[in-house]
């Protein structure tokens, strides 16, 4: 290939929310065709840039999965897991996406909307503190679905626990355990049975109590392995804990708030009386650079 034939470099950024980290690829006009192999390579921590997932930033009008949302949300979060698979929603990713839109000048701090595969999500980017500390980002994550299924179990080694299934746009299996160490090294996916319980795979959360309205968790994410945080997972955990604790807002008439500690930081999750769930936490951009275009298998359309 001559130099003139080489594809142009592709700009990228790196960001994280409670250490759930993402390669961010701005592609406003939807010109990039990132294959699953491209995404897996970009997210590879040794051969690539490294990340738990990738956020492609595309105008909703320029993406076939999002054009119907374009009137409500100018920007579509095309989220991919580290193995290149597609997921419906990413909570930490949505905060980082909102931060990117503000930093890039595509949105003002305050309220903005993001189109996702799980529908339009509304975010609020708080103003930075006087010392420059970035303001937290709150995302209205919508309602949880609680499929009425019994008998699903997750096992690690000789231990097993019943799970509560919670769908936050993407699927979660929440297990309350005595000790987070019982989840093991989480290098491979925990065994979930029956095997066909989640045909599209599942994110598995292990949870311990830290005090009233305060839990800690670890997560094994579908398509990414153990991550240091999962926003949709924290919301699923909050909902499961509130039901267990008799704090279902629809039943009590009062909102429920839980602090969720994760290996990478802290999220605060509130379920309103109308069932809507709000997630608040940090989101930062830490680097900017260029991807060598020759490296991508799919090139540009």
Ligand X SMILES: N[C@@H](CCC[C@H](N)C(=O)O)C(=O)O
Q: Which residues bind ligand X (CB under 6 A)?
A: 20, 53, 81, 87, 90-93, 170, 203, 221-224, 227, 230-233
DSSP annotation of 190 reads P
Q: Is 20 annotated as a binding residue?
A: yes
Token representation of residue 179: 């000790």
Residues 6+ apart with CB under 8 A from 300: 7, 8, 31, 32, 33, 293
Q: Is 203 annotated as a binding residue?
A: yes
Q: Is 222 annotated as a binding residue?
A: yes
Three-class DSSP category at 100: helix
Nearer to ligand X, 87 or 154 (CB): 87
Sign of the C-alpha dihedral computed for residues 106, 18, 177 and 193 taken in this order: positive
Nearer to ligand X, 204 or 242 (CB): 204
How remote is the C-alpha of 70 from its chain's centroid? 21
From the CB of 3, what's the least distance to ligand X, in Å?
38
From the CB of 82, what's the least distance to ligand X, in Å?
8
Taking Cα atoms as reference points, which of 241, 54, 20 lies closest to residue 137?
20
- The residues that are catalytic are 90, 230
Nearer to ligand X, 204 or 256 (CB): 204
Token representation of residue 39: 């995404």
Helix (H) or strand (E) holding 121: strand 119-125
From the CB of 229, what's the least distance to ligand X, in Å?
6
User: What is d(CA 300, CA 224) in angstroms, rounded to the nearest whole number?
Assistant: 25
From the CB of 301, what's the least distance to ligand X, in Å?
25
Q: Is 167 annotated as a binding residue?
A: no
From the CB of 276, what's the least distance to ligand X, in Å?
17
User: What is d(CA 158, CA 141) in angstroms, rounded to the nearest whole number?
Assistant: 35
> Which of left, alpha, beta for 233 (phi over 0: left; psi -120 to 50: alpha)?
alpha
Nearer to ligand X, 147 or 157 (CB): 147
Work out the number of other CB atoms within 10 angstroms of the CB of residue 143: 16
Q: Is 231 annotated as a binding residue?
A: yes
User: What is d(CA 106, CA 286) in angstroms, rounded to the nearest whole number?
Assistant: 18
Q: Is 91 annotated as a binding residue?
A: yes
User: What is d(CA 176, CA 166) in angstroms, rounded to the nearest whole number?
Assistant: 13
Q: What angle do CA 98, 26, 100 make, to 5 degrees?
A: 20
From the CB of 89, what's the least distance to ligand X, in Å?
6
User: What is d(CA 222, CA 237) in angstroms, rounded to the nearest whole number?
Assistant: 16
Nearer to ligand X, 86 or 250 (CB): 86
Nearer to ligand X, 220 or 254 (CB): 220
Q: Is 81 annotated as a binding residue?
A: yes
User: What is d(CA 212, CA 196) in angstroms, rounded to the nearest whole number?
Assistant: 35
Numbered residues of the known binding site: 20, 81, 91-92, 170, 203, 221-222, 231-232
| Numbered residues of the known binding site for substrate | 20, 81, 91-92, 170, 203, 221-222, 231-232
């Amino acid at each position: 290939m001559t130099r003139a034939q080489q594809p142009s470099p592709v700009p990228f950024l790196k960001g994280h929310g409670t250490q759930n980290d993402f390669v961010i690829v701005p592609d406003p006009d939807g010109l990039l065709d990132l294959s699953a192999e491209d995404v897996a390579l970009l997210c590879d921590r040794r051969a690539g840039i490294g990340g738990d997932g990738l956020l492609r930033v595309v105008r909703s009008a320029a993406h076939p999965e999002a054009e119907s949302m374009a009137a409500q949300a100018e920007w579509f979060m095309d989220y991919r897991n580290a193995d290149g698979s597609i997921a419906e929603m990413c909570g930490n990713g949505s905060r980082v996406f909102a931060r990117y839109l503000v930093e890039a000048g595509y949105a003002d701090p305050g309220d903005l909307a993001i189109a996702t595969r799980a529908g339009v999500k509304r975010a609020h980017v708080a103003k930075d503190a006087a010392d420059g500390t970035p303001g937290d980002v709150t995302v209205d994550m919508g309602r949880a679905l609680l499929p009425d299924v019994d008998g699903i179990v997750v096992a690690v080694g000789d231990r097993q626990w019943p799970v509560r299934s919670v769908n936050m746009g993407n699927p979660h299996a929440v297990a309350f355990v005595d000790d987070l160490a019982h989840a093991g090294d989480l290098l491979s996916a925990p065994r979930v049975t029956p095997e066909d319980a989640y045909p599209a795979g599942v994110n598995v959360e292990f949870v311990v109590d830290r005090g009233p309205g305060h839990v800690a968790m670890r997560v094994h994410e579908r398509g990414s392995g153990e991550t240091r945080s999962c926003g949709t997972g924290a919301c699923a955990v909050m909902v499961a804990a509130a039901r267990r604790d008799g704090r279902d807002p629809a039943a009590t008439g009062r909102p429920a708030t839980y602090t969720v500690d994760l290996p990478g930081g802290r999220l605060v999750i509130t379920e309103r009386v109308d069932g809507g769930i709000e997630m608040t936490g940090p989101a930062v951009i830490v680097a900017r650079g260029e991807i060598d275009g020759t490296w991508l298998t799919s090139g540009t359309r």
